[in-house]
Amino acid sequence: MDLKKVITATLVPAVLLTVFGVINTVLNFVINTYVPLLCFLPLILTLIMFVISCAILLYAGYAAARKYQLDIVGASLTGLLAGLVSSIIVQLVSLVLILVGILPSASSNPLGAAASGAFNLIGWIIWSVLVIGAYTVVGAVLGAIGGLIGRKK
């Protein structure tokens, strides 16, 4: 397994996953902040983006096997890295948006903003660990499945 090929095969899927993830995060933030009556919409949007992400991870493994001639382990590693890198970047963007959401209340009630910020940060850490772990495992599994499909043809 050539690590250089794995990294090269990971670039495009990781960028696509990051772009879709950031779009999803920003849209969810805007909808939840400015249009709370449509609170169901972020859930639907997130589910759609998850399906798109799974398709990208599956393609990452397929392309790794077909285009870069990697074996199943290389295809799985490609999906794993794409899921890991993109989910870390998206979670950092979500942290920035959480902090931006706290700023307006900090000027009127600093103590309340500090308590709210601490609560949000703890929730963000727990959620980020779960999301990054899930996308890493899903990336590895779908990358391997994509690699199997790519090797058969």
Coil, strand or helix at 129: helix
Tell me the pTM.
0.87
| CA–CA distance, 144 with 153 (Å, rounded to integer) | 15
pLDDT of residue 68: 93
74-133: per-residue pLDDT in tens?
A: 999 999 999 999 999 999 999 998 888 765 555 566 666 666 667 778 888 999 999 999
What is the mean predicted confidence (pLDDT) over 11-39? Answer: 92
| CA–CA distance, 101 with 19 (Å, rounded to integer) | 21
With bands split at pLDDT 50, 70 and 90, how would you rate the model's confidence at 140? very high
Indicate whether 142 pLDDT > 90: yes
| CA–CA distance, 69 with 49 (Å, rounded to integer) | 28
Q: Do residues 75 and 150 make contact, with C-beta atoms less than 8 angstroms apart?
A: yes
Average pLDDT, the chain: 89
Other Cβ atoms closer than 10 A to 1 = 11
With bands split at pLDDT 50, 70 and 90, how would you rate the model's confidence at 14? very high
Coil, strand or helix at 113: helix
Every domain of the chain and the residues it spans: 3-152
pLDDT of residue 101: 72
In whole angstroms, how far apart are CA 151 and each of 56, 73, 80, 115?
17, 12, 18, 53
| CA–CA distance, 56 with 70 (Å, rounded to integer) | 17
Q: Do residues 48 and 120 make contact, with C-beta atoms less than 8 angstroms apart?
A: no
Task: State the residue for tokens 């979500």.
Answer: 94
